[in-house]
Chains A and B, each alone.
Chain A
Amino acid sequence: MKSQMASLIGSGIALALALTACGAGGNGREGPASSTAESAPVIDIGSLYEPQNLDNVGGGGQGVIEALGGNVYEGLFRLTDDGTIENLLAADYKVSRDGLTYTFYLHEGVRFHSGDPLTGADVEYSLERIIDDGSTSPRKSALSVIKSIETPGTSTVVVKLSSRSISFVYNLSHVWIINDTVKEPATAEDGTGPYRLGTWKRGSSLCLDRFDGYWGAAPKNRQVVFHYFTDASALNNALLTGTVDLVTSEQSPDALAQFTGDPRYKVSEGRSTTKLLLAFNDREPPFDKVLVRKAVSSAIDDGKLLESIWDGHGSLIGSMVPPSDPWYEDLTEVNPYDVELARRQLAEAGYPEGFTFTLDTPNYDPHPTIATFVKSELAKVGITVDINTITADEWYTKVYQRHDFTATLQEHVNDRDIRWYGDPDFYWGYDNPQVATWIKQSEEASTLDGQTALLRKASRQIAEDAASDWLYLNPQIVVSTAGVSGYPVNGLNAQFYVYGIDKR
């Protein structure tokens, strides 16, 4: 055993030594250029979200999308940082009159990093991975509308749907097209993006090297290195000491104070899709009563909460729809902050003296602080909150899977996720058949206007039913050194396109 362990250690050290350098030469990457190197800069990025593996289907997490989405892998369509959809690997597409058949024409001359040409078979393979029975992809339910996929020519793909899906093209922007020869996408990469995966030093950094055979416009930099941190102050120290050029997501306003007002740094606040929810269990008393939910929503001063957590950044939303979704409207007045109104509603609902409930609170920031705030706000109307702090894992099992809770706090990060209010089996158990119908119809709408109109109705209705209490929308804050430009500021759906980043 001893010698085996020793040989393991030995081989590991040898392996590590054999790994090729991430940059041209350690810290002095910007030093004297070798004969093949160009003047394009190397960009160092600091992030808290290291990928778990290389696959966005098998739970690589938010980090895999940040690092690889649009950079290493591309979809048929691209979701731009402004939230619009552009053709990417699909040069063009057409939809049949009944909206059930989509024909996609692929760009000519696109090659994977391995050199293989892009064909319809790769698209078919990539789509089938997601809708497959064994798939664990979070996009599976949205794409389960796919009935069949055919590839009549090498660069044509025909997809038939079982029902109309107006978000289909949008949803395809989340699907990475990978080479169909890659059988283990969690550990090996072969995409068509402007970068290929370089060295990944787990727990520390991941390099993206510019791919010279890229079919589109060449990136503005020759290499991007993601540096990963588990500790937010270590991340900020890296920016302060010049180890990184920018930080993808600043998580605390306290840290932000070091950079705002300092000409050496740029702070940008974009539109996030991360909503902080006080989610009720709408199946169980007392939150099965609309009036009780409205009363709780009105008793909490969301503006004061946002100020104390985010120090003026972020925004208030009165429903599940963030401003970057096409069907956004300001609904903050539906359940305004009004303690008197809350008292009247409680009395009318049969709880004039208030009640006591347990709030399941994830143990990581900012939830414990919010729970304390909610507790003191609700005390004003006679409601007693017992805070029950749980781990993320317990939350998933107890709240999400078993629905064993009265109320909870949670962040919901995705865009266009109002659809969960159309699913009575979802963890919060909101069940309004009218809303479910609108949401279902919106997906089958034949025009974007039709879809938008229906989702606005749904959004207003869930606000009127106070299905949950939408406390606030997180800000999306990127901090960089002054000379860095061309980075995405909204980072929708955790994506972070790096090809436009330049450094003076």
Chain B
Amino acid sequence: MTAYLLRRTLLLVISLLLASSVLFLLLRLLPGDPANSLLSVGATPEQVAAARHEIGSDLPLPEQFASWIGRMATLDLGRSFISSLPVGPEIAGRLVVTAPLTILAFLLAVLISVPAGFVTAHRRGTWYGSLLGGVSQFGLAVPVFWVGMLLITVFALHLRLLPAGGFPADDWADPAAALTSLVLPVLTVSLVMSASLIRYVHSAALDVLGSDYLRTARALGSSFAGAIWRHGLRNAAVPVVSILGIELATTFLGAVVVENVFALPGLGSMLVKAFAQHDYPVIQGILVLSTFTVLLIGFLADVVQRLIDPRLRRTATGGPE
């Protein structure tokens, strides 16, 4: 396992470096000029040149690349072209919104979808099994912003129970206020996420329910619940964990829409704005962090799968540890 972990970590670092380089180059291929965002109608060619010089976008590409990679090594993500502020702390400031949003939504989605997935698989014939299945089908077809707007209309505009959007200016200084403003966004993301998760859990559960080992366990006198608990969950968990990993990563990246609907100052809204302004240091910073997060989640999902299922450990490393 140790050798595996080392190898996997090395792979993680190499992937991140490769991804960063590709990112840097792709961004430069985009049409448009970051200097434009610093100017307004009436700017002279000299002013355009001055703006380019100010932000360093007039330097040759290799030079820009070298300085960026060099700074990355010391974890300095550079300064925003537009606001002149260092990108690292800016991203960190947005993470206090996006990270709790993603994690809470993910946990809630797991809480909803794992039992619901088992129920739809086990109670296929019943009315509530079909209802859950139908609801998840519907959830798959509905765009996330629509769910958000629906929740706002009901809970904020009509019932006045929760805020329609925004986030406290003092972040988590008042945790209750911060949590309150996250309720609807978290619900939105988790509902949409559950819809697809239920289907994965459903099919994983079907495999388990029809398996020989479960029948054997029942035959040996185990109760249904006991058999599911001792054998079923563990077996169903392997494919589900890898799907969960992918879902978590998708949620993290997909926060963009939800953040706009709920006016949340998260990474997603920051990224959209940065793209519109060609604010390369900000875009790079967010994408590198996202790439790292996605790679890390994949890595963790792999490790967790191995911990759950000893068979994977043997096949991957060529023998028992």
Point out residues on A near B: beta carbons under 8 Å: 1-2, 4-5, 7-9, 11-13, 15-17, 19-23, 25-27, 52-53, 58-59, 133-136, 138, 140-141, 184, 186-187, 199, 201-205, 207, 225, 227-231, 233-235, 237-238, 240-241, 243, 391-394, 396-397, 400-401, 412, 420
CB contacts (< 8 Å) of B46 on chain A: these are 133
CB contacts (< 8 Å) of A2 on chain B: these are 9, 12, 292, 296
Give the residue among B31, B50, B171 with the most A Cβ atoms within 10 A: B171
Output the least CB separation between B204 and chain A (Å). Answer: 30
CB contacts (< 8 Å) of B221 on chain A: these are none
- Verify B277–A52 contact, CB threshold 8 A: yes
Q: How far is the CA of A16 from the CA of B95 in the complex (A)?
A: 10
- Verify B273–A241 contact, CB threshold 8 A: no
CB contacts (< 8 Å) of A141 on chain B: these are 42, 44
Give the residue among B167, B168, B289 with the most A Cβ atoms within 10 A: B168
Judged by a CB distance under 8 angstroms, whether B78 is at the interface is no
Known: A202-B90, A230-B272. A401 touches B48 (CB 8 A): yes
- Verify A16–B50 contact, CB threshold 8 A: no
Give the residue among A20, A21, A52, A53 with the most B Cβ atoms within 10 A: A52
CB contacts (< 8 Å) of A135 on chain B: these are 47, 50
Interface stretch of the complex, out of B81-89, B115-123, B192-200: B81-89
Judged by a CB distance under 8 angstroms, whether B164 is at the interface is yes
- Verify A412–B41 contact, CB threshold 8 A: yes
Give the residues from 242 to 281 in chain B that come closer than 8 angstroms, CB to CB, to chain A.
260-266, 269-270, 272-273, 276-278
- Verify B50–A202 contact, CB threshold 8 A: no
When C-beta atoms are compared, the residue in chain A nearest to B164 turns out to be: A237
Give the residue among A7, A201, A412 with the most B Cβ atoms within 10 A: A201
Known: A135-B50, A203-B269, A394-B31. A243 touches B89 (CB 8 A): no
- Verify B169–A138 contact, CB threshold 8 A: no
Q: Is the interface of B mostly helix, strand, loop or mixed?
A: helix
* Contact indicator per residue, chain B 44-85, by CB within 8 Å of chain A (1) or not (0): 101110110110000000000000000000010000001111
- Verify A52–B82 contact, CB threshold 8 A: yes
Output the least CB separation between B141 and chain A (Å). Answer: 22
Known: A1-B292, A186-B84, A241-B156. A26 touches B53 (CB 8 A): no
Q: How far is the CA of A204 from the CA of B264 in the complex (A)?
A: 7
Q: Please, how many residues of chain B have a CB less than 8 angstroms from a CB on the other chain? A: 73
What's the A-B contact tally at a CB cutoff of 8 Å? 202
- Verify B170–A19 contact, CB threshold 8 A: yes
CB contacts (< 8 Å) of B91 on chain A: these are 8, 12
- Verify B54–A136 contact, CB threshold 8 A: yes
Output the least CB separation between B133 and chain A (Å). Answer: 33
Q: How far is the CA of A23 from the CA of B170 in the complex (A)?
A: 8
Q: How far is the CA of A39 from the CA of B239 in the complex (A)?
A: 61
CB contacts (< 8 Å) of B47 on chain A: these are 135-136, 140
- Verify A136–B38 contact, CB threshold 8 A: yes
Cβ-defined partner of A16 (8 Å) among B84, B96, B289, B292: B96
- Verify A241–B260 contact, CB threshold 8 A: no
CB contacts (< 8 Å) of B164 on chain A: these are 234, 237-238, 240-241, 243
- Contacts beyond the supplied A22-B168, A140-B44: 4 A-B pairs with Cβ under 8 Å: A1-B13, A27-B174, A52-B277, A393-B36
- Verify B289–A138 contact, CB threshold 8 A: no
Cβ-defined partner of B265 (8 Å) among A25, A203, A401: A203
When C-beta atoms are compared, the residue in chain B nearest to A139 turns out to be: B42
- Verify B169–A13 contact, CB threshold 8 A: no
Give the residues from 28 to 48 in chain B that come closer than 8 angstroms, CB to CB, to chain A.
31-33, 36-44, 46-48
Residue contacts A-B, CB under 8 angstroms, 25 given: A1-B13, A5-B292, A8-B75, A12-B92, A12-B96, A13-B96, A16-B93, A19-B170, A26-B174, A52-B82, A52-B277, A138-B41, A140-B47, A184-B84, A202-B93, A203-B265, A204-B263, A230-B260, A233-B149, A234-B165, A237-B157, A240-B157, A241-B164, A393-B36, A393-B276
Q: How far is the CA of A173 from the CA of B156 in the complex (A)?
A: 42
CB contacts (< 8 Å) of A237 on chain B: these are 152, 156-157, 164-165
- Verify B263–A207 contact, CB threshold 8 A: no
Known: A58-B38, A59-B39, A186-B83. A26 touches B92 (CB 8 A): no
Q: How far is the CA of A9 from the CA of B290 in the complex (A)?
A: 13
When C-beta atoms are compared, the residue in chain A nearest to B169 turns out to be: A22
When C-beta atoms are compared, the residue in chain A nearest to B84 turns out to be: A186
When C-beta atoms are compared, the residue in chain A nearest to B34 turns out to be: A393
When C-beta atoms are compared, the residue in chain A nearest to B266 turns out to be: A203
- Verify A59–B50 contact, CB threshold 8 A: no
When C-beta atoms are compared, the residue in chain A nearest to B170 turns out to be: A21
CB contacts (< 8 Å) of B31 on chain A: these are 393-394, 397
- Verify B42–A52 contact, CB threshold 8 A: no
Judged by a CB distance under 8 angstroms, whether B146 is at the interface is no
CB contacts (< 8 Å) of B85 on chain A: these are 53, 187
Judged by a CB distance under 8 angstroms, whether B225 is at the interface is no
Output the least CB separation between A57 and chain B (Å). Answer: 10
Judged by a CB distance under 8 angstroms, whether B112 is at the interface is no
When C-beta atoms are compared, the residue in chain A nearest to B90 turns out to be: A202
When C-beta atoms are compared, the residue in chain B nearest to A228 turns out to be: B263
Judged by a CB distance under 8 angstroms, whether B139 is at the interface is no
CB contacts (< 8 Å) of A401 on chain B: these are 48
- Verify B171–A17 contact, CB threshold 8 A: yes
- Verify B272–A5 contact, CB threshold 8 A: no
Output the least CB separation between A208 and chain B (Å). Answer: 12
